Amino acid sequence: MKFVDEYRDAKVAQKYAGAIAQITTRPWTIMEICGGQTHSIIKYGVDELLPEEINLIHGPGCPVCVTPAELIDKAIALASRPDIIFCSFGDMLRVPGGRATLQNQSRLSGDLLAVKATGGDIRIVYSPLDALKIALANPAKQVIFFAVGFETTAPTTAMAVYQAAQKGVKNFSLLVSHVLVPPAMETILSSPHNRVQGFLAAGHVCTVMGYTEYEPIVHKYSVPIVVTGFEPLDILQGIYMCIKQLEEGKAEVQNQYSRSVHRHGNEIAQKLIREVFEVVPRQWRGIGAIPQSGLGLRYRYAEFDAEKRFNLTNYPVQEEKECLSGLVLQGVKKPHDCPAFGTNCTPEHPLGAPMVSSEGACAAYYRYRQRLVSN
């Protein structure tokens, strides 16, 4: 496939790996932020090509994984109502919620798929604009879109809200869980458990946001950040650039993914995000509250906030104690370090979101490394 195959060339990959080995003089730990990069690394064995001094650890860039259990429970409560059509990306349907009890004291179903199996009108969509179309076609129903994702998906969500406001749509709203990458990176770097010495930043996030917001992080924590794409050769080149900086004692932002990312990103998309959303504190599943790390609807778009429209209140949830997803998402542990990996936790019976999300690290190891791990 043109424009893809050339980034998967095994001979060129070997050359990159050799070049990395040549410049590496000591152990380094690098975190790839994005779950899409994690899957590429594990699927194509990028980590196995590298010299043993280089340790790749996996970051929190899986939006499904970091959506708080409390919001999953709220989604389940809303999707169970007969007057609601609940729209979501497919990944969210298998994610287990917490063990909350809502105001009506009824025990919730474990995930959205269970609600769908018992008759809930849950529709898998590929875009919030599809959910808006469903709202226009079903004026007698309330239609809710589960808005999860990083800066990459936020512009489309913002466009759906903007269009709904322009058209005066009254039966469309969002359950919002949009999150931002830079505050999560700072949380990891500030942790006493931090092992990260360099980052591969997520190319698609930077396509929207550019990379100027990483410059203060680089200066504050003296870590190189390389904006990197998703194909194996992108990742190997990003690692080479990162290691070169580390070996030379530098800490700069560099752009490996220049075929898509420009320094200031897509300013029209950023303007749209700012029009509809404001930066808010956000709870990250397994990690906890991170200040100024999420997007919430601005006051002028508050009528599209499903939590307000349906008067949902906050309540504590219990997360599955056996699940170490918080540590996996911060790179402190790898999936096979979790005692439940492949035993009590499998894609068929997940204890945590990283085992079911298409960007989850546990799902990547289970899918591509299970045989090796169990041997």
Which residues, 6 or more positions from 76, have their beta carbon under 8 angstroms from its beta carbon? 97, 108, 109, 111, 112, 115
Q: Residues 368, 12, 2, 366: what is their CA dihedral angle, to the nearest 10 degrees?
A: 10
Residues 344 and 338: their CA atoms lie apart, in Å, by: 10
Contact 207, 269 (CB under 8 A): no
Is position 325 an interface residue for ligand SF4 (rule: CB under 6 A)? yes
Q: What are the φ/ψ torsions at residue 11 (nearest 5 degrees)?
A: -65, -40
Determine which residue in the list 36, 341, 359, 369 makes contact with ligand SF4, applying CB under 6 A. 341
Q: From the CB of 323, what's the least distance to ligand SF4, in Å?
A: 3
Which residues, 6 or more positions from 355, have their beta carbon under 8 angstroms from its beta carbon? 345, 346, 347, 362, 363, 366
Q: From the CB of 354, what's the least distance to ligand SF4, in Å?
A: 4
**Residue with smaller CB distance to ligand SF4, 245 or 330:** 330
Q: From the CB of 28, what's the least distance to ligand SF4, in Å?
A: 25
**Residue with smaller CB distance to ligand SF4, 146 or 341:** 341
Is position 328 an interface residue for ligand SF4 (rule: CB under 6 A)? yes
**Residue with smaller CB distance to ligand SF4, 232 or 352:** 352
**Residue with smaller CB distance to ligand SF4, 238 or 352:** 352
Residues 97 and 353: their CA atoms lie apart, in Å, by: 9
Which residues, 6 or more positions from 152, have their beta carbon under 8 angstroms from its beta carbon? 202, 204, 205, 207, 208
Q: From the CB of 152, what's the least distance to ligand SF4, in Å?
A: 23
Determine which residue in the list 103, 263, 322, 372 makes contact with ligand SF4, applying CB under 6 A. 322
Is position 351 an interface residue for ligand SF4 (rule: CB under 6 A)? yes
**Residue with smaller CB distance to ligand SF4, 236 or 355:** 355
Per-residue x/- marks for ligand SF4, 274-313, CB under 6 A? ----------------------------------------
Is position 93 an interface residue for ligand SF4 (rule: CB under 6 A)? no
Specify the stretch interacting with ligand SF4 by CB under 6 A; choose among 131-139, 161-169, 295-303, 318-326: 318-326
Determine which residue in the list 338, 357, 359, 369 makes contact with ligand SF4, applying CB under 6 A. 338
Q: Which residue is nearest to ligand SF4 (CB)?
A: 352
Q: From the CB of 73, what's the least distance to ligand SF4, in Å?
A: 18
- How far is residue 284 CA from its own chain's centroid? 10
Of 352-371, binders to ligand SF4 (CB under 6 A) are: 352, 354-355, 362
Residues 36 and 10: their CA atoms lie apart, in Å, by: 20
CA angle 27, 28, 34 (to 5 degrees): 150
Tokens linked to 99: 């063990």
Q: From the CB of 99, what's the least distance to ligand SF4, in Å?
A: 15
Determine which residue in the list 95, 180, 324, 364 makes contact with ligand SF4, applying CB under 6 A. 324
Determine which residue in the list 54, 158, 290, 345 makes contact with ligand SF4, applying CB under 6 A. 345
How distant, in Å, are the alpha carbons of 35, 68, 154, 295, 301 from that of 149?
Answer: 12, 12, 7, 10, 19
How many residues does the structure list for the chain? 375
Specify the stretch interacting with ligand SF4 by CB under 6 A; choose among 23-31, 92-100, 213-221, 338-346: 338-346
Residues 128 and 135: their CA atoms lie apart, in Å, by: 11
* 217-252 CB burial, b ≥16 within 10 A, e <16: bbeebebbbbbbbbbbbbbbbbbbbbbbbbeeeebe
Is position 59 an interface residue for ligand SF4 (rule: CB under 6 A)? no
Tokens linked to 284: 């990250």
Specify the stretch interacting with ligand SF4 by CB under 6 A; choose among 16-24, 187-195, 302-310, 336-344: 336-344
Residues 229 and 366: their CA atoms lie apart, in Å, by: 23
**Residue with smaller CB distance to ligand SF4, 180 or 355:** 355
- How far is residue 84 CA from its own chain's centroid? 26
- The contact set with ligand SF4 (CB under 6 A) reads 322-325, 328, 335, 338, 340-341, 345, 351-352, 354-355, 362
